[in-house]
Chain A
Amino acid sequence: MIQFLQQLINGLSIGSVYALMAVGYSLVYSIMSFSNFAHGGVIMLGAYFGFFALTLLKLPFVFAFIIACVGTTLMAILVERVAYKPLRERNAPFLYFIISAMGASILLENIVIATIGPTFRTYPTVIPRTPIQLGALAVGRLDLIMFFISAVCLVGLILFIEKTKMGKAIQAAAYNIKACALMGVNTDKIILIVFGLGGFLAGVAGVFFGMKYTVYPQIGNITTKSFIAAVFGGLGSLPGAVLGSVLLGTIETLVAGYLSSQFRDLIAFVILIGVLIFRPSGIMGKTTVDKA
């Protein structure tokens, strides 16, 4: 029982890392209907921004965190302007967007390799590694903080989209961006805001990822799993992305804990294929329009 609860805690913690990354995918997908693979690259930049703010500028953690998030917000917007806007203006097919996204992701990774270097780096210890003991259960301090901040960010994001006027415009654009433009909404601005929000979350995810694990140019590859989680939960749906991530994290952990650790990825990909076959729009995805 203790073992099961401990594995459940592990699963939730892994799931919350996926969730922070997955939401960025879903957000962009809901408006632009393509998978923004450059998101992984922006997360990687976030990890580096936070790292250098902490080590070179020697800023307190909170400021480093803010710098990283602002930095990635700007970077995500820059990626949109450089890699996607020219395509949007030409009404390019959606396949071109994906190719452009992959290009941006490779570009970001190689810029970092060429300028900062290929080796991995370690965040200074901001939060002690000693766990909080709840009886026989061990809960990491960083995990708790991460879980809390992720929850605040995600709830804040959902409130923003549900309650504000701009949020309503985003919802409308997600429903039908062309009609939305015809109604006089500035869709260019909406796209910018969506990328900015995605970038902000990428900063949060990047800093936490760096603190929890390590910083290296290939961090972007990790986002494959969170992309699976986003598809699993339903691309385009924010609660879906969170649910998918938590489920994927938990399933992975339980498979590794009770079946065999070698089956972990096997099961993750079988789930993805299964979802695509039986429920192409994911658990909470939009079923009305099949944009993919």
Chain B
Amino acid sequence: MKRTLMAVALVLTIVLLGCAGGGAGDTIKVGWFGALTGDQAVWGENEFNTVKMLFEEYNNSGGVEVGGKKYKLEAIGYDNKGDAQEAVNVVKRLTGQDKVVAILGPNASGNAIPIAPVLEQAKVPDIATVATNPKVTVLDGKVKPYNFRVCFIDPYQGAVAAGYAFDKLGATKAAILYDVSDDYSQGLREFFKINFEKKGGTIVADESFNAGDVDFRPQLSKIKAAQPDIIFMPYFFKEVALTANQARELGITQVMMGGDGWPSEQLISMGGASVEGCYFVNHLDYADPAVQDYKARYLAKYGKETELNGYLVHDAVLVLVAALQKAGKVNGEAIAKALEGIEVQGITGTIKISPETHNPEGKDAAILKIVNGQYVFQEKYAAQ
């Protein structure tokens, strides 16, 4: 705990320094949170950089007009270290202390799910970026009034993965390895399993590990003995790369498949030859003409390639700005109301937020394959 507090304090100082100097005119404070340290720090950093870049672009062109008045946008970001408890703390701080009118992020479902009560109390909407678990916006059949997102959800992603594995790759026996301590991983495993079995396939091994584990050989040896056609690995790139390396060390040659937790520069640098020929479900095709402009702007500003999260947070910012303009006032409750049913042309597709589920309707999934260390687009695939 002490460790966490210290890290937060450290990042806070850096963030405050970075955000100092608002200038004249009124500003709209927008919160962001995600992991700036820990396993998913690459993604968090990428998201926050994108938010800062876009806000700067808006501000340089005069700001955003809300209700006939121009406002500057100000981003206040905190690190939650990818920790669920810490997510609740930073949202309390954003809403209570910083008085933000809306929050962007986080990318992880496990961090997005527990913040709902705080948002509801403060009446501040949150737009999650890559949090795909259904429970992020809908719990027990009831939509959470202040939680929104700009990505597709896991039942869909699981169905896409299962359908592609069975129909296109011809796999009939699948093994699953998942992170038992993560909501995202558990959900995706469940939806893959249901859909794969519905198609007529069998799950020959269903193994799990705990967050923080680095050795998966006991589970992999078991999977090897079960002789699957494909191994489904619904978790994040660090563990994916470790698993893939260890699997190859054990002589496992099967194709591996995963979800949107995979794509990252680091997967390739760490996994190398081990992840060659593997498939995953993604939110977009990196070669799509619609994303090229943002990609180039990011590269020019920060000197490195954007990650998957940047594209999604980019669209979250577009949705937020549209909602501000639609609402006509700078108020969390009004923004939340405006977000329902809003339709925005984003770079990852058209985002039309359904008032019933707060999810974007009809976003396609892209299937990518790793070939020669590159993510190669295969096809847009819709689950049947």
Q: Does B42 belong to the interface (CB within 8 Å)?
A: yes
Mask: chain A, 118-130; 1 = CB below 8 Å from B; 0 = not: 1110100100011
Q: Does B210 belong to the interface (CB within 8 Å)?
A: yes
Q: Of B39, B214, B224, B249, which one neighbours A140 at CB under 8 angstroms?
A: B249
Q: Does A3 belong to the interface (CB within 8 Å)?
A: yes
Q: A118-B41, A262-B180 are in contact. Are A221 and B212 (CB under 8 A)?
A: yes
Size bin of chain B's contact surface: 35 or more
- Looking at chain B's contact residues, the main secondary structure is helix
Mask: chain B, 236-253; 1 = CB below 8 Å from A; 0 = not: 001001100100111100
Q: A106-B2, A114-B10 are in contact. Are A138 and B222 (CB under 8 A)?
A: no
User: Are B251 and A10 in contact (CB-based, < 8 A)?
Assistant: no
Among A119, A122, A216, chain B packs the most CB atoms within 10 A around the CB of A119
> How close is B228's CB to chain A, nearest CB, in angstroms?
15
Q: Of A10, A114, A120, which one neighbours B217 at CB under 8 angstroms?
A: A10
Q: Does B229 belong to the interface (CB within 8 Å)?
A: no
User: Are A214 and B222 in contact (CB-based, < 8 A)?
Assistant: no
Q: Does B67 belong to the interface (CB within 8 Å)?
A: no
Q: Which chain A residues lie closer than 8 Å to B274 at the CB level?
A: 129
User: Are A125 and B272 in contact (CB-based, < 8 A)?
Assistant: yes
**Which single residue of chain B is at the shortest CB-CB distance from A216?**
B39
User: Are B7 and A113 in contact (CB-based, < 8 A)?
Assistant: yes
User: Are A120 and B39 in contact (CB-based, < 8 A)?
Assistant: yes
Q: Which chain B residues lie closer than 8 Å to A3 at the CB level?
A: 221-222, 225
> How close is B13's CB to chain A, nearest CB, in angstroms?
11
Mask: chain A, 124-157; 1 = CB below 8 Å from B; 0 = not: 0100011101000010100000000000000000
Q: Which chain A residues lie closer than 8 Å to B37 at the CB level?
A: 113, 118, 217
> How close is B216's CB to chain A, nearest CB, in angstroms?
9
CA distance A3 to B210 in the complex (A): 22
Mask: chain B, 214-236; 1 = CB below 8 Å from A; 0 = not: 11011101101100000000000
Mask: chain A, 24-60; 1 = CB below 8 Å from B; 0 = not: 0000000000000000000000000000000000000
User: Are B218 and A257 in contact (CB-based, < 8 A)?
Assistant: yes
Q: Which chain A residues lie closer than 8 Å to B270 at the CB level?
A: 120, 122, 214
Residues of A within 8 A of B (CB): 3, 6-7, 10-11, 13-14, 106, 109-110, 113-114, 117-120, 122, 125, 129-131, 133, 138, 140, 213-214, 216-218, 221-222, 252-254, 256-257, 260-262, 264-265
The 5 closest A-B pairs by CB, nearest first: A256-B218, A118-B37, A118-B41, A10-B217, A138-B251
Query: Would you give 22 A-B contacts (Cβ < 8 Å), ordered by A?
Result: A3-B221, A6-B250, A10-B218, A13-B217, A106-B3, A106-B6, A110-B7, A118-B37, A118-B38, A119-B42, A120-B270, A125-B272, A129-B249, A129-B274, A130-B248, A138-B250, A213-B214, A213-B242, A222-B214, A254-B218, A256-B219, A257-B219
User: What 14 new A-B contacts, CB under 8 Å, besides A13-B217, A256-B219?
Assistant: A3-B222, A10-B217, A106-B2, A110-B6, A113-B37, A119-B41, A119-B45, A120-B238, A120-B270, A129-B249, A133-B251, A217-B37, A254-B218, A261-B208
